[in-house]
Structure formats: structure tokens, C-alpha cells
Amino acid sequence: MSEPAHESEPVRIPDHDLDDLVATVTRLVAESRKQGETLARLTDDQPAPQDGEPADSEHPESPASAPYADGAKNDGPASVFILALGAQAYAVELAALTNWVHNLLLPVYGREITTGRPWCHQWQEHPEAVARLHALWLAWQQLTDVQAGLTGPSTWHRDHLDPALLQLRTPDGPFGACTTSAARPHHRLLASPEPAGV
């Protein structure tokens, strides 16, 4: 049995284990950075507490600190979904989503605009499109991460991209009254149904 190392002695790691250790540390640093960025986006819309006022997490009416039905306290954000964010966090998240849509999604998966596959260049003004594209982007972030494994991208295509594009680009989808020709852009929001009893 070997002697325990003294605090002043350096730790020796075999060379064949060093690459695994470096990869693990690099992955952990990247995950930590992504979590920090997500947390920063989610907390950007929180107003700064006034002097003597408790932080938002201490307000009982704050959704982030509201107790669950069983009485346990929810200390995290209520949701990362864009429709659940405050105005400032929504704007930040929409800007990041727009970057992804314009620089990755449309150049790779956009296809031609036709009557059977409409698209609106002002998609950010269609709440359904924003919601579906944001959900698609969240899934892309998770399923293209190294932790998703080798089948992550295939799962993203099958379970998320294809159904989302079918819903967005169907003739009766959110862009049904919008562009059918790239040469003649057209944008119109369709009226949503009125709630019952109005």
C-alpha cells in the first residue's frame, strides 16, 4: 500500500489520464459558462431592490419564489421559455434567438418560400412563431451539446425541427397571410379567436 501524499508534495497524474482530465475540466467550464449566461439573461429583467427593500427572491408574490403546492419553495426562475420572461429578458432572448434563426436555421433549413411553405421576414412579430422557434432553439442547444451523445442531432431533427417547420410553414400556420414570394414581402398578423363570453 502506498504512503499518503503530504500536502507539500505535488500530485502526480499518469499521462494517459491527463487528456481525460483536461477534457472533463474543459467540459465543466463550458457548462458553467452556459449556465451563467442563461442565468444572466433570465435575471436581466429583475429590478434592483431599493434601499431597505428585500431582494425579489424574498417577495412572496414573485413567481420565482412562489411556493409549490406542497409548500416547498421554488428558488429558481419560473421558466426559461421566452413567453414567460419579463420585457427586458424577453428582448435579450429574442435578440439571441434572431441571431440563431438568421445565421443557422434559415441558411440551412429555410428552403424556398412558396404558397405551400410561407415565411414572414417579420417573424418576430408573430407570437406563435417566436414561441415555436424559441422552443426549437432550446432543444437545439441541448441536443447538439456533447452531453447529448452522437444521436442528439438526429433526435433534434426528428423530434423538434421537422414538426416545428411543419407547423410554422403550413399554409394555415402563423405565416398563412404573409409572404408567399421572396420578391414581394408581405406581413400580416391573423386575428386570434376571441375568448368565450366576450
Percent of the chain with pLDDT over 90: 46
Task: Determine whether 65 is exposed, middle or buried from the number of CB atoms within 10 Å of its CB (0-12, 13-18, 19+).
Answer: middle
Mean pLDDT along residues 129-154 = 95
The pLDDT of residue 39 is above 80 = no
Q: At residue 111, what is the residue type? A: R
Mean pLDDT along residues 137-163 = 95
Boundaries of every domain in the chain: 80-192
Q: In which residue are the cell numbers 433570465 written?
A: 42
Asked whether the beta carbons of 136 and 164 are under 8 A apart, the reply is yes
pLDDT of residue 124: 96
The CA-based dihedral angle spanning residues 126, 130, 132, 136, taken in that order and rounded to the nearest 10 degrees: 150
pLDDT of residue 173: 93
Lowest mean pLDDT, pick from 33-42, 100-109, 111-120, 173-182: 33-42
pLDDT of residue 62: 33
Q: What residues contact residue 39 under an 8 Å CB cut-off, 6+ apart? A: 77
Average pLDDT over the chain, rounded to an integer: 77
Q: At residue 146, what is the residue type? A: V
pLDDT of residue 4: 56
Query: DSSP H helical segments within the chain, as ranges?
Result: 15-43, 87-100, 106-109, 127-143, 152-156, 162-168
pLDDT of residue 163: 97
Lowest mean pLDDT, pick from 19-33, 61-75, 130-144, 153-167: 61-75
